[in-house]
Structure 1
Amino acid sequence: MSLTPLDIHNKEFSRSFRGYNEDEVNEFLDQIIKDYEALIRENKDIQNQLQTTQDRLDHFSNIEETLSKTIIVAQEAADELKTNSKKESQLILKEAEKNADRIINEALTRSRKVALEIEELKKQASIYRTRFRTLLEAQLEILNDESWNTMQLQHKEVE
């Protein structure tokens, strides 16, 4: 158990012959009591400061730990976002490639269909031309035929 200022104050010394001067001893004890009380107060202040400093240190340690965890979580979130973005961009690219292939295939199909239609139209035009030529040739034959000339003469006489 530690010595208190009250213990020092209440301390009684036995008297002996040729002992110390009682007033000097009491003055010295009073001085010790004051110094001891001052040391106790100073020690208490230092302990309070130490506790305050320890509390602040604990607080800052907690903040540091929280920041570290936050940084780790943020990094993980950033990595996950990056991964998801990469996957999404790959999906978009694949979808675009499928659409491009579909558009190209549709264009090729239309192109073949138009080419077939053009060939059909060329055949029909050729048939039409042949028929028209045949018709014209037949009409020219009729015009060049001698009976046409006689028909014209007969027609004039009738008038």
Structure 2
Amino acid sequence: MKLNPLEIYNKEFNKSTFGYNKSQVDDFIEDIGVAYERLLKDINNLQEENKKLKEKIEHYQKMEDRLNNTLDTMQDTIADRVEQAENEAQVIIKEAKVEADKIKEKAKAEVAAEKRKVEELREQKNFFKIRFQTLLQSHLEMLQDDKEEGLRREITELENEYEQADEE
């Protein structure tokens, strides 16, 4: 049975000859009514406070859910960006290796070309050395031939002079 303070205050009892003292019963009912009214107010206040606290808890739970969702989204985004950065790094490394290989090949080709040039220059040097030696040798031979021929001419001239002198 649910009672409200008004029912307690207005409650009337049947009278009996040897019943309770009316003023004591009225005072007691009055005290009960006040206590009951205070308890109802306390219950209402506690229920209201409970409702507000539940709303706050719900609000904080929603906020926690949003923060968790945001955190999950951020972690996913970070993971995606890290993966993307790693992929980009791999691509950069591959491109750098390809570029390095190209540079190495180009350098090898240049070294080979320079070696060929040096070899050609050596061959040209040897060729010019041989030609120069041959030229010098032929000039020396020509000089010797000229010298011998000059001596022969001189001898021939001297012989001719002696022969003329003898004839005279």
Name the structure 2 match of 1:141.
Answer: 141
Matched, 1:50 2:50: yes
Q: 1:107–1:148: structure 2 CA closer, same or farther, 3 Å change rule?
A: farther
Question: TM-score by structure 2 length?
Answer: 0.76
Match of 1:107 in 2: 107
Distance in 1 separating the partners of 2:39 and 2:5 = 10
**Equivalent residue for 1:25?**
25
Gaps of 5+ in 1: 153-159
Contact 1:142 1:148 in 2 (8 A): no
Deviation string, structure 1 residues 32-80 (Cα, Å, up to 9, x no partner): 1111111111111211221232123213322332332233223212321
Query: Which whole-Å deviations, capped at 9, do the CAs of 1:77-98 have from their partners, x for residues lacking one?
Result: 2321221122112101110111
In the other structure, the counterpart of 1:35 is 35
| Contact 1:8 1:29 (C-alpha < 8 Å) held by counterparts | yes
Structure 2 Cα separation of the partners of residues 5 and 136 of structure 1: 147
Deviation digits for residues 77-131 of structure 1 (CA, Å, limit 9, x no counterpart): 2321221122112101110111111011111211221122222222221221122
Match of 2:162 in 1: none
**Does the Cα contact within 8 Å between 1:9 and 1:29 map onto a contact in 2?**
yes
Q: Normalization by structure 1: what TM-score?
A: 0.80
Q: Cα RMSD (Å) of the superposition? A: 2.5
- CA 1:148–1:3 in structure 2 vs 1: closer, same or farther (change >3 Å)? farther
Residue type matched to 2:90 in 1? Q
Aligned-pair identity in percent equals 32
Structure 2 gap ranges (5+): 155-168
Residues 7-22 of structure 1 aligned to structure 2 (within 5 Å): 7-15=7-15, 17-22=17-22
Residue type of the alignment partner of 1:147: E
Tell me how many residue pairs correspond in the alignment: 152
